[in-house]
Structure 1
Amino acid sequence: MQLAVNLLDAKQLISSVGAIGLIAIIFAETGLLVGFFFPGDSLLIIGGVAASDAASSVLGDGAKLPIAALLVGAPLAAIAGAQLGHLIGAKIGPRMFDKPDSKIFRREYVVKAEEYFAKFGPGKAVVLARFMPIIRTFLNPVAGTLEMPARTFFLWNVVGGVLWTESMLLIGYFFGDALAPVIDKYLIPAVLLIVLLSISPILIEVVRERKKKAGGDEAMGDAVQTGGGRHRRS
């Protein structure tokens, strides 16, 4: 009997807890603030592989998971977890994020999230956050702290929760045969690539903002130099 489980090892987690445990972990990662360390992306992909015909080669005989239960349970857990996080933020967010000595719930997260919402809008912010580890955990209470309307948050929470869980599960399910032989070696790079692609709009926007700012600073410098020259001539 296995007495210890590596909580950061998605493959070992699924082997130990099965479909119900996977669904519970998705809820914990998105709803319970202490669950930010769970490997949600890789957990869902390996869950999809474990529901495919390649399940036995990854987890061993008799370990195949029911794909229907995962496709229904995972998005529901992700949505419910995020709603809980939003509720926590709305109820106790200001007190939680105003502790100067806190190592986890820092005020700067609220400030950055506020800029994030202002730049991308609430819908895009909530949906994109689903594909970013750690951020998908903390964005929900921060959204509640910033008093994002519950109906607006719920709408985009559903969109993001479904897109995230179903896409990851189906990648594992349909590409299980190809992923099974190399899953231990290439899963993490694959997940990082997916995360990178999902946040590419944010990265593009950041680069544009920096170029715009650099251009503004350069224009201001030219104006100062020109103004100084005219002053000397006068």
Structure 2
Amino acid sequence: MDHFESWKDLLNPQFYIDNGGFWLILFIIFAETGLFVGFFLPGDSLLFVSGIFAVNIISETFTSTGSDFLDTAILATCVSVAAIIGNEVGYFFGLKTGPILYEKKDSFLFKKKYLFKAHDFFEEHGNVAVIMARFLPIVRTFIPIVAGIVKMDKKKFFVDNVIGAFLWSFILIFAGHYLNELFKNQFGIDLKAHLEIIILIIVLVTTLPIIIKFFTGKKEIKS
């Protein structure tokens, strides 16, 4: 077990896998949307890297089914459930707190600007924003809260929540598992030995839409 050395460990998905495994992964996924302070947690990269270690994670927590596919599917399903519960908690929080959050002062764990960005995203994309937001860091933390604040229909939110959670979890976890298998079999490259580069690439890819939106938004304001 690795010991916590610095705040950088909190951004490293392997830290959670090594120190908490299956149950900590589920909590992190829940916290990223269920607790608005979880916006800094490594959602996308955690799922991808978890996919690489899926068989080991299931074997150490329960017992391997003997099938890589089933072990990976079990992990992805459990993560989906954690993500769904997280979003429902976020929705309920937004429903009950309402405008109070907009009056809350910024702190280390709460940035009002993220709430406004999530609101703009929701206004632009409508109900489908709940599904799309799953693939966008920070935005996915605040979208369920915004959905609750604007009193989005509970049944519609739940359906979109389930669809988004399963798409996000299965795509990233299975991508991690089978891309690792592909690289090992075809190129002799074990992605486990290159996790830092992989995490960096995932962070860049997932944050690129937000960066583009930020700068294009500024140009629109100037014009």
- The interval holding the TM-score normalised by the smaller chain is 0.7 to 0.9
On the 8 A contact 1:114/1:146 being kept in 2, the answer is no
Residue in 2 aligned with 1:166?
170
1:16 aligns with 2:16: no
Give the distance between the partners of 1:70 and 1:130, measured in 2 at CA: 17
SS at match of 1:76: helix
1:102 partner SS: coil
Q: Quote the Cα distance in structure 2 between the aligned partners of 1:110 and 1:37.
A: 14
Is 1:146 the counterpart of 2:150 in the alignment?
yes
Q: 1:110 & 1:40 partners in 2: Cα distance?
A: 18
Contact persistence 2:115–2:142 (CA under 8 A): no
Hey, what does 2:200 align to over in structure 1? 189
Aligned residues: 203
TM-score (norm 2): 0.76
What is the CA deviation profile of residues 66-117 of structure 1, one whole-angstrom value per residue up to 9, with x for unaligned ones?
4243122000000110010000000013212222x333252x5555444323
Identity %: 34
The answer to whether structure 1 residue 127 and structure 2 residue 131 are counterparts is yes
How many Å separate the matches in 2 of 1:118 and 1:47? 33
The answer on 1:29 being equivalent to 2:40 is: no
| Unaligned stretches of 5+ residues in structure 1 | 218-234
**Residue of structure 2 equivalent to 1:82:** 87
User: Where does the alignment leave 5 or more consecutive residues of structure 2 unmatched?
Assistant: 65-70, 184-189
Contact 1:130/1:164, CA 8 A, preserved across alignment: yes
Distance 1:181 1:112 in 2: 35
Q: Which residue of 2 aligns with 1:39?
A: 42
Give the CA deviation at 1:187.
Answer: 1.1
Distance 1:15 1:2, change over 3 A: closer
Offset, 1:167:
0.6
Q: Aligned partner of 1:162: which letter?
A: F
Decide whether the 8 Å contact of 1:45 with 1:171 is kept in 2: yes
* CA distance in 2 between partners of 1:2 and 1:165 (Å): 26
> TM-score w.r.t. structure 1 length?
0.72
Q: Deviation string for 1:127-183 (max 9, x for gaps)? A: 111111111111111111111111121111111111111111001111124252553
Larger radius of gyration: 1
8 A Cα contact 1:113 1:142, kept in partner = yes
Matched, 1:180 2:167: no
Report the AA paired with residue 160 of structure 1.
G
Distance change (3 Å), C-alpha of 1:36 and 1:207? closer
AA aligned to 2:20 is: V
